[in-house]
Amino acid sequence: MIKSVHAENRQLTRTRLSKTWIVSLSILLILAAITVVPFLAPQDPYRIQMGNRLQSISATHWLGTDHLGRDVLSRVIAGLRTTVGTSLLILAVSLVVGVPLGLLSGFIGGWMDRVFKRVVDAFMTLPDYIFAIVLSGLLGPGLVNLIFAVTAVKWVGYARLVRSTVLAEKQKDYISLSILAGTSSLRIVMRHILPHAIGNVLVLATLDIGKIILMIASLSFLGLGPQPPIPEWGTMLNEGRAYFQMAPHLMLVPGIAVVLTVLLANVFGDKLRDRYDVKTRTEE
């Protein structure tokens, strides 16, 4: 029986680690794309040319120019690094904060778990967007404040997921056998519990990328994100609003960029979830 329990645990661990490697490789590829793509911008996204303001699509400016004569295509490409790069940074910070807190709360339990639940309840009293808008408004506009506000909203979900995974794994036989064998708590957490938790966390993270991008763009559209002249898709939407009737491309182009990026992120996350979710595959 002990051998079968350990064999089952090793199989689940290998599946989780395979999922972790696939998601990690995908994130690295996205980071590489974010690093390389801005260098493909045909013109300087910060260059102001008032003589070329509000031009339509042409051979020189493939997506036209904005109200300051800056090339829209170059600014959209540069905005990829700002919008998507910021979302990945927020995601990374949320994981760094949420995963250890969820592990500690679920494994140690007691007063720490009670305090954790009260803190989580406090953060979840308001919907994500409302909480992020209120916190960003209190902190003021700016990229750093935006990162702090969205991270304060997002870390809770990962901490709750890890805590629930730890509580479920603690009840299984192989954990009891490890404790009886004298295995240290740190080794149990790092060797047995974390591999089960981190796979689900990374799949959730891929599903969350689109939501974070949309939240960043929304806050920037309200003037609470990166300030001009930094190219950011939500900020570009806000700048183009005053010129929508005479130059609709100023809003259409960054809007389409946001929609396509969020759509691709959601499709990618759904595929990873369907392919590597052990529970779903077991039920099927």
pLDDT per residue as tens digits for the range 20-30: 556 556 666 66
**pLDDT reported for residue 33:** 64
pLDDT at 34: 62
- Please tell me the distance from the alpha carbon of residue 279 to that of residue 284, in angstroms, as a whole number: 9
| Tokens, residue 276 | 């590597």
Averaged over 177-189, what is the pLDDT?
74
Average predicted confidence (pLDDT) for the chain: 81
Q: What is the pLDDT of residue 22?
A: 60
pLDDT tens digits, residue range 228-276? 888 999 999 999 998 998 889 999 999 999 998 888 888 877 777 776 5
Return the DSSP state at 171.
T
pLDDT 10s digits, 198-230: 777 877 888 888 899 999 999 999 999 998 888
Give the residue from 260, 229, 216 showing the smallest Cα distance to 87.
216
Tell whether the model's pLDDT for residue 147 goes beyond 90.
yes
Please give the CATH topology (third level) of the domain spanning 2-52+60-283: MetI-like fold (1.10.3720)
Q: What is the pLDDT of residue 149?
A: 94
> In the predicted model, is pLDDT for residue 156 greater than 80?
yes
In this prediction, residue 172 carries a pLDDT of 75
Separation between Cα atoms, residue 206 and residue 255, nearest integer Å: 21
- Above 50 in pLDDT, residue 281? no
Tens-digit pLDDT profile for residues 69-120? 999 999 998 888 889 889 989 999 999 999 999 998 888 878 888 898 888 8
Q: How far apart are CA 269 and CA 274, in angstroms?
A: 9
CB 95 within 8 A of CB 205: yes
pLDDT recorded at residue 91: 92
Burial (CB < 10 A; 0-12, 13-18, 19+), residue 199, is buried
Structural domain spans, the chain: 2-52+60-283
> Has this prediction a pTM greater than 0.95?
no
Report pLDDT for 117: 87
DSSP designation for 172: S
- What per-residue confidence (pLDDT) applies to 23? 58
**Is the model more confident about 145 or about 32?**
145
Tokens of 129: 């967007």
Question: How far apart are the C-alpha atoms of 152 and 126, rounded to whole Å?
Answer: 12
Using DSSP, state whether 183 is helix, strand or coil. coil
Give CA–CA dist 198/162, Å, rounded. Answer: 8
Which is nearest to 210 in space by CA: 253, 152, 175, 262?
262
Answer whether 15's CB lies under 8 Å from 7's CB: no
Give the span between the Cα atoms of 207 and 204, in whole angstroms: 5
Question: How many CB atoms are located within 10 Å of the residue 98 CB?
Answer: 22
Q: CA-CA distances (angstroms) from residue 131 to 34, 136, 145, 225?
A: 28, 8, 13, 15
d(C-alpha 284, C-alpha 281), whole Å = 5
| Sole residue written with tokens 């992020």 | 132
pLDDT at 27: 61
Residues of the chain above pLDDT 70, percent: 82
